[in-house]
Every structure is written in structure tokens, then in C-alpha cells.
Structure 1
Amino acid sequence: MLKRFKVDSFVIAIVISIVLAYFFPQLGASNSPVPLELISSFGISLIFFFYGLSLNSEVIKNGLKNWKLHLTVQSSTFILFPLLILPFFPLFKDTSYELLWLAFLFMAALPSTVSSSVVMVSMAKGNLPAAIFNASISGIIGIILTPLWMMPFITQTDVAFDFSSIYFQLISEIVIPLILGLFLRKFLGSWAQRHKRQLSLFDKFVILLIIYKSFVHSFEDEIFSSVSLLEMGAMVALVLLLFFIVYSLTGWFGKLLNFNHADRITNRFCGTKKSLVHGTVFSEALFGQTSIIGIILLPLMFYHAIQILIISVIAAKKGKEQQKELN
């Protein structure tokens, strides 16, 4: 039972990064001799370059056949999630909670995860090729849709944003490296597959570096002084509520569209996930010039921990049920 509820090591690493940012901010401070901004920017470019190298064109070609499932998953990721957050905007507009609402919208507009979605679907005996396709294509769609969801509301905040620099950063750090990776996949794709584990560790290292740097700046500007422990507890409760609403709705859509058992698992597991990797990277592009990035990432980090914990338990249970039926 304890093994089933084992805390994800990456979640622990995130907590450690935030603690280090609070007690040892020297490396990420504004006057630090270490160019963390440049290092994290270069790291982001490499993440998407390796992502392009790792994309399997055959899986994507074959995956297009199951269009009804893919359309449902991507609609859940990029339409259902934001639409559950949008109606509450009038309640929080021009209040002290508007920034927290924006953080929830940012989380809701993000792509699905890649590795954890595939692993969980595999564990639960779902449609694995469809999971790989949706996880892969979600990151590409997110490059376009996530900023589109955010831009109208970013302009209404009191924070000054330079949109030319935002678009330049999105193109230079994400789009160009991704395209370059896709072009070089023929030559370096096999190398990327062989070193998949090391590249995954590199991704996580860059994300932890960005989280550390972002929280250092937030602590420097005392941005968290406006968020109480009670509000953080409410944030966790809202994240939980959002997860179970989407999990229930994706299950209902699966039944409505007569998906088979394997497709229902993939629809639910991929359609309820949000990517911390993409979230951290996009937050750098959209909010990187401000100190609010720490608060912007809070709901996402809570959601990341919750989705891994809950889906891993459900996946293990469904995998055992399927195994019993086969036996």
C-alpha cells in the first residue's frame, strides 16, 4: 500500500528547489555573477530541440486514423479546461485575486504531459499508440494555443509586457529549436531514442533551474506576501476540484462517443494532464520579465503533484483489473 502512494521524486525535487530559493538565493539573485537567465534560455532551446529529435513520424502518421479520440483529447486539453476557468473572470477582475485567477487560466491553457501520460496509459492497459500521438502533438498545438488564450488577459493586468519580446522568445527558444530537431531527426533521432533517460533528466534539471530562479525573484520582490496559507489551501482544493470535474467529463464523453475500454483510458489519462515542462517554459516567455512568475506557477505545481498521485493509483488499479480479465 505504501509503495502505491510513493511520492514522485520530481515533486520532492521541486519542493527542494523552492526551499533553496528561499534560504540560498545568491545564485539566482538579480546581482548574481552566474548568468542563470542565459543558462535557462539555452536549456529551454535544447529541451525543444531534443523534443523534435524524439518525435516519431510513423506514430503520428498512424495515429491520425483514430481522429475522434484525438479530437476529444485535444479538445479537453485546450478547450474544456480553459472554459471551466473563464466564467469566473468577472468575479476576480480588478480584485487582489485577479493574478491567482490568471495563474489558473495559464495552467488550464497548457498542453498535456508527454512521458507521464504515456507511462500511466501503458500501466492501465490503455491505447498506447494513441497516447504517444496525443502527448506528442499536444506540445506542438500548445505553442500556438496557450499564448492565444493568455494574451487577451495579460493585456488587462497592471504589469507592463513587451509583446514583441514575448513573440521573439517563443519563436527563438521554442519554435526554431523544435523545427531544427524535426529536420535533424533523420540523422540524430536514433541517438535521442538511445539517450531518452538522460534527456529526460536534462529536461527536469532545466525545469528545476527555472523554478529556482523564478522563486528567487518572487521572494526578492516579496510577491508571496499577498498569498496566505489559507489561500494556498484553497488553491489546492480548487486544483483537486478541477481535476475531478475534468476526469468525470472526459469519462462521460468517452461513453457518449462509444469508445472502447482502451480508448476511454487514453482519453481520460491524456485529457486530464497538464505539462509542468511546457508550463515552466511558457511562463518564461509570457511572464519572464516580471516577478509574478512564482505565483503563476503555483497552481500548476500543485496540479502536477496531484495528477501524478491520483492517476498513478487509478492506473495501477485498472492495470490489475485488466490482468485479471486476461487470466
Structure 2
Amino acid sequence: MRVPKLDWFLIGMGLAALLAWAVPGPGASGGWLRPEFTVKAGVALIFLLHGLLLSFAALRAGALSWRVHLVVQGCTFLFFPLLGLALLPLLEGVFSPELRLGIFFVCVLPSTVSSSVAMTAAAGGNVPVAVCNATLSSLIGVVLTPLGMSVVTATTGQPIPLGEVIWDLVVWMVLPLAAGQVLRPVLGSLVQRHKAKVNLADRLVILLLVYTSFCESVRRDVWTGQSPWALGGVALVALGLFFAAMAAVRLVCRWAGMPREDEIAAIFCGSKKTLAAGVPMAQLIFGATPALGLILLPIIVYHQLQLLVCSVLASRWAKRG
């Protein structure tokens, strides 16, 4: 079995964290990168580009597969958060409070869009259903992700200003996404011709957000006292979450007698979590908290593991198909 190579973006996330460790000043609050302004501008740019690339025809084609939608959204916003709530007391004393918060943040995040669709296509699954579900998940997450986080943070005495956070998510994520869809008839063909450059710009902005997220935590010395084994522990928890979700989705799909193509789309969309929206969401939900780097570590690890495992699965299922 051939193991897929890591792409430059995955390596870039590690380099962004190392750069923040070595040179935190520019990306910390008050630095010359001005993260208090560039973060929100970067978030808006990411979702404007997503809107320009999003095919409305594919959304319409997949909209009627309601059984798959129920399975995917149920796993993303019900099964995952319940699993996260069950894990929190078990992980107390194993991980720092910030890492436990980051693990729960993974559980309440929406699904990915681009990689879920790409993996579904590679495996011979139902691509319109994947596009519709991944997009629907992103929109639902604007409300349910901060709502889920507010339930946990309220118990720590540091409640999230829920209304303000949801408003920020709407302004900096939903509205740019909608603007991209409105501009698609005018700019859609141009964006498609230069899709590689658009994707490059999207990923570079995400790397900038990762860098600024880690800068403040390094400057405030948040990482001091963290166990060197924490990364391995987070990876084990991430793998456990991923395989639990995949098994649950597969079991429900088999029980419901779904076609193979729908099952593939449901497994990829239901088990994956978004880094592209997760980093901007964390920036908007948690603001300039010094522990933001620690909170983001679990989704960065989960993202890399899910791409590795899903690439192997997509290749295997494509051969069987």
C-alpha cells in the first residue's frame, strides 16, 4: 500500500509554528503584521474565495439526498460533541486545560469542503452530495460551533460572548461567502482558470493565521510546562475521534441501506473537521487569548491525520469500485 506524500501546506503549518517560536514579535498583538486587523481581513478573503469557487449547480444536485444530510450533520454536530463532552473529564490531569479545550473545539467544528469533495471524487462517491453537505455544515457551524464552545467555557468561568461571536462569524465568514456566490457569474470563469493560484492564496492566508495564532502564546510563555508527550497524546485522541466517527457513519449508512456512492460521501464528510474554517473561527471566538496556539494544536494534528488516512481509504475504495 502506497502512503501518500505530505504536501507543502502540511509542512508549512509546522514551519509557521516554528517561525512563531523563533520570531513571535511581528505576529503578536502590536506587532508590525497588525494581527488585530489582518486576521479579520484574512478570514474574509478566505471565504470570499470559497464563495467564488463554490458550484451552485452541485449544491442543487445534492440537495435532495436528505438521508445523507441527516447522517453527516448528526455526526458532525451531535455525535462528535457528545463524544467530546464524554472525553473532557477523562482527559483531566492528562492534558492542560487549553489542550482539552482544543480537543473539544475539534469536536464542535464543521466538516471540510474542499478535501471532503476531493476525497469523495477520488473514491468514486457522490460528489454533489459531498459538496452540499460540506457547505451546509460550514453554514450550520457558524451558530453551533460557538454555541458548543460556550457550553464548555461557561463551566470554566470564562464564558464566550455568544451573540458578539456569532455576529463576527456572520460578518467575516458568511457575508464574504455569499458575496463570492453573487460575484461568481462575473468572476467565476476567471477564478476557475486561475484556480491553482487562488488555492495558493487561500493556503498562504491560513498559514499567516496559524503563525499569528502561535505568536501570542509564545510571547506570553504559554508553552512552558507543557509535556513533551502532549503532541503524541493529542494524535492518539485525534485518531480515536476520527475512527469512532467513521465507524458510526458507516454503521448508520449500512443500516439505512444507502448506495455505496452515498456512503462514501457520508463517511468523508461526517468524519472530517475543517482547518480552513477552524483557524479563522478560533481567531474570532477566542480573540487574542495567549493560549490560542495550544487550543489550535489539536485541529492542526487532526487535519494532518485525516488527510493521511482519507487519502489511503480513497485510493483503496477507488480500486474496489
Q: TM-score range by the shorter chain?
A: over 0.9
Q: Note the C-alpha offset of 1:282.
A: 0.3
1:300 aligns with 2:299: yes
Query: Could you say which residue in structure 2 is the equivalent of 1:194?
Result: 193
Q: Higher mean Cα deviation, 159-168 or 120-129?
A: 159-168
Residue 95 and residue 321 in structure 1: after superposition, are their counterparts in 2 closer, same or farther (change >3 A)?
Answer: closer
In 2, Cα distance between equivalents of 1:145 and 1:82? 10
Instruction: Say yes or no: does 1:313 pair with 2:316.
Output: no
**8 Å CA contact 1:44, 1:281 repeated in 2:** yes
Amino acid at match of 1:233: G
How far off is 1:300 after superposition? 0.5
Aligned to 2:215: 216
1:125–1:262: 8 Å Cα contact kept in structure 2? yes
Tell me if structure 1 keeps the 8 A contact 2:13–2:207: yes
Matches within 5 A, 1:273-288: 273-288=272-287
CA shift at 1:302, angstroms? Answer: 0.7
Residues 1:98 and 2:101 are matched in the alignment: no
Distance in 2 of aligned mates of 1:182 and 1:19: 36
The separation in 1 between residues aligned to 2:157 and 2:293, in whole angstroms, is: 17
State the match for 2:125 in structure 1: 126
Question: How do residues 15-164 of structure 1 correspond to structure 2 at under 5 angstroms?
Answer: 15-90=14-89, 97-159=96-158
**Aligned residue pairs: how many?**
321
Q: TM-score, normalised by structure 2?
A: 0.92
Give the aligned residue type for 1:22: W
The offset of 1:71, in angstroms, is 1.5
Contact kept? 1:92, 1:98, Cα under 8 Å? no
Residues 68 and 262, structure 2, Cα contact 8 Å, conserved in 1? yes
Q: Residues of 1 paired with 2:214 and 2:236: CA distance? A: 22
Q: 1:51, CA displacement in angstroms? A: 2.0
- Distance in 1 between residues matched to 2:142 and 2:312, nearest whole Å: 30
Query: Whole-Å Cα distance in 1 between the matches of residues 77 and 195 of structure 2?
Result: 27
> Aligned with 2:186: secondary structure?
helix
Q: Is 2:233 the counterpart of 1:231?
A: no
Residue by residue over 1:179-218, the C-alpha shift from the partner in whole angstroms, topping out at 9 and shown as x without a partner, is 3223333333333333332222111111100111111111
Structure 2 stretches of 5 or more lacking a match?
Answer: none
Report Cα offsets for 1:242-268 as digits up to 9, x if no partner: 111111111111101101111111111
> Superposition RMSD on alpha carbons, in Å?
2.2
Q: Name 1:325's counterpart in structure 2.
A: none
Note the alpha carbon deviations across 1:13-59, whole angstroms, 9 max, x for none: 10011111111223213342332332222111111122223332222
Task: Tell me which moved more, 303-312 or 92-101.
Answer: 92-101
By how many angstroms is 1:158 displaced? 4.8
CA contact (8 A) 2:48 2:176 kept: yes
Tell me if the contact between 1:121 and 1:315 (Cα under 8 Å) persists in the aligned partners: yes
Q: What is the one-letter code of the residue matched to 2:156?
A: T
Q: Which moved more, 1:292-301 or 1:36-45?
A: 36-45
Structure 1, 246-255 or 176-185: larger mean CA deviation: 176-185
Alpha-carbon distance change, 95 to 165 in structure 1, aligned in 2, over 3 angstroms = farther
Distance 2:225 2:94 in 1: 12
State the distance in 1 between where 2:220 and 2:55 align.
43
Q: Which runs of 5+ in 1 are unaligned?
A: 323-327
In structure 2, the residue corresponding to 1:126 is in which secondary structure?
Answer: coil
TM-score by length of 1: 0.91
SS of residue matched to 1:223: coil
Instruction: Name the SS for the 2:224 alignment partner.
Output: helix
CA distance in 2, matches of 1:91, 1:158: 20
Identical aligned residues as a percent: 37
3-state DSSP of counterpart to 1:207: helix
